[in-house]
Amino acid sequence: MTRSIWREGTFRASFVTDGTVHLVTEFAAFPITDLIGYFSGEWELAREIADVGGNPMGRATGHATFTCTDDLLVYRETGELHLGEHRGPFIRTLHYHPAGGPRAAVHFDHGGFFHDLDLATGEWTTEHPCQADWYHGSYRLLGDRLWEQEWVVTGPAKDHVIRTRFSRGPARAGAGSR
């Protein structure tokens, strides 16, 4: 099972076997000044879903696209979800309302507020209540073509961790604006 460990602005990807943590690689946070420039375009996504003890529950793979329309950055993800015995497509849309430079207010596609976002340092933590459950989220920019998002969900109805890694191919003109 992959685990994320944070230490003073550094992300370490690691895995655990027999209780031993093995360091795979280390990334410093990747600060940005242009949220629209960084996110715009297409990303591949790989998602792991585990219980809070780290036991795998499911996974998903697919694509995410950020499209700028007027004063809105529209996030749309599609792919295939494997959750227990379930196999099937998934789709999600969020609206990022840019607030200058590396900042945005993130809303659900129905218009409800989700969370604020400020990636000036390349990392951000946030929270969101959902009925009686609580979502604790983090964004980590790991480079101009790699970022991660993690949600630890706790409460009476949910108790799991959702970790998604976003990546894209070789640099393209205008991509990865800091």
CATH number assigned to the domain comprising residue 160: 2.40.128.20
Number of H helices, E strands in the chain: 1, 13
For residue 104, count other CB atoms closer than 10 A to its CB.
22
Evaluate if pTM is beyond 0.85: no
In total, how many domains does the chain have?
1
Question: Residue 120: inside a domain, yes or no?
Answer: yes
For 40, the domain range is: 29-167
Per-residue model confidence as pLDDT tens for the chain (178 residues): 333 433 334 444 444 344 444 444 567 899 999 999 999 999 999 999 999 889 999 999 999 999 999 889 999 999 999 999 999 999 999 999 999 999 999 999 999 999 999 999 999 999 999 999 999 999 999 999 999 999 999 999 999 999 999 999 776 544 445 5
63-to-44, 45, 97, 146 alpha-carbon distances in Å: 5, 5, 21, 13
| Rg of the chain taking only CA atoms, in angstroms | 16
Question: Residue 3: inside a domain, yes or no?
Answer: no
Question: Residue 35: inside a domain, yes or no?
Answer: yes
148-to-19, 70, 114, 155, 164 alpha-carbon distances in Å: 24, 26, 18, 23, 6
Task: Print burial letters for 19-36: b (CB count within 10 Å at least 16), e (below 16).
Answer: eeeeeeeebebbebebbb
Q: What is the structure's pLDDT at 167? A: 96
Question: Residue 10: inside a domain, yes or no?
Answer: no
By residue count, the chain amounts to 178
Question: Residue 163: inside a domain, yes or no?
Answer: yes
Reference 138, options 21, 29, 15; nearest CA is 29
Question: Residue 44: inside a domain, yes or no?
Answer: yes
Q: How many Cα atoms are found within 13 Å in the side-chain-facing hemisphere of 172?
A: 10
Question: Residue 175: inside a domain, yes or no?
Answer: no
Question: Residue 6: inside a domain, yes or no?
Answer: no
